[in-house]
Structure 1
Amino acid sequence: MRQPHPFPEIYIDLNAAMIERGYLLCRGSVDDLAKLGLTPADAVGMRFTFVQDEVDEQGNPDDIMFNGIVIHDPKWGHLAFADEDGVYWRSEVAKL
């Protein structure tokens, strides 16, 4: 089991890969950052857990997640940049 991280959760669309380990922030990402009082520019360098809705084989919610930071790419703009340990599922995180 993975230990839970203290980072705020931000929605991400994992279909929006722009660079290796980099995903374009979508409307949901911007909305979640705004709830924290942040713009994408404010969030550059800050750590978050990025989350996409998903279900397991039985149809139960089991979000896909990764930890990382917001970066600014000169070509693509603001991206969620995943840590090297990659994605995991919420069911792999130990319950507190």
Structure 2
Amino acid sequence: MSSKHILRVVPLLERLSLIRFANESGVTRLQEAIEFADQLLDVNVDGVEPMISPNETKCTLLRHDIAHHTTKEDITQNAKHLVEGYFVAPNQ
């Protein structure tokens, strides 16, 4: 990944991860993390069943009891601040 591309996505990554990358050591750390994660592309996954992941389109119950249905609005109504529907942690 080119340095130009990384520098374009740095502000978004900082906002999403709450970690500052806007200096040379931060960009280096980010580049190393991306290179480390790129190793996953070399893993042979032929014949491996995909993991089941809960998402918005499928309800995966973990227990055999009565589930109480809640909506995203129910959960986020007490949030002090949301960005694009996600909770935002305070900056320190």
> Fold conserved (TM > 0.5)?
no
Q: Which has the higher helix share?
A: 2
When normalised by structure 2's length, the TM-score is: 0.27
Q: Which has the higher strand share?
A: 1
When normalised by structure 1's length, the TM-score is: 0.26
Structure ranking higher on relative contact order (CA contacts 8 Å, 6+ apart): 1
